[in-house]
């Protein structure tokens, strides 16, 4: 999968993945979606964003987590 809207610059935002070279981290947008903000609300908060930026941020986050082992705590009591 190719991401055209995600940029990573070590000199900007400590190398965090951002949208289109702006100082808007992908993690910030994903968190806003997780907080139940609508896409229209996010676009009002960040007027320089486009709806495609939000979609690609979510796709990037999903791809980043795919097939990785995460240190999750088991809820099964032994």
pLDDT tens for each residue of the chain, 78 residues long? 789 999 999 999 999 999 999 999 999 999 999 999 999 999 999 999 999 999 999 999 999 888 666 666 656 655
Residue 20 lies in a domain: yes
Q: What is the CATH number of the domain that holds 12?
A: 1.10.10.10
Using the Cα atoms of residue 65, residue 68, residue 73 and residue 78 in order, give the sign of their dihedral.
positive
Whether residue 6 contacts residue 56, with contact meaning beta carbons closer than 8 Å, is answered with: yes
Q: Distance between CA atoms of 56 and 71, rounded to whole angstroms?
A: 25
How many domains is the chain partitioned into structurally?
Answer: 1
Give residue 42's domain range.
Answer: 6-65
Give the pLDDT of residue 66.
84
Give the pLDDT of residue 60.
94
Give the pLDDT of residue 40.
98
Residue 39 lies in a domain: yes
């Amino acid at each position: 999968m190719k991401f055209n809207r995600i940029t990573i610059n070590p000199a900007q935002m400590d190398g965090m993945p951002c949208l289109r070279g702006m100082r808007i981290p992908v993690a910030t947008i994903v968190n806003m979606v997780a907080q139940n903000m609508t896409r229209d609300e996010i676009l009002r908060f960040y007027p320089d964003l486009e709806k495609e930026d939000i979609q690609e941020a979510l796709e990037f986050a999903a791809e980043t987590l795919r097939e990785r082992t995460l240190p999750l705590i088991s809820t099964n009591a032994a």
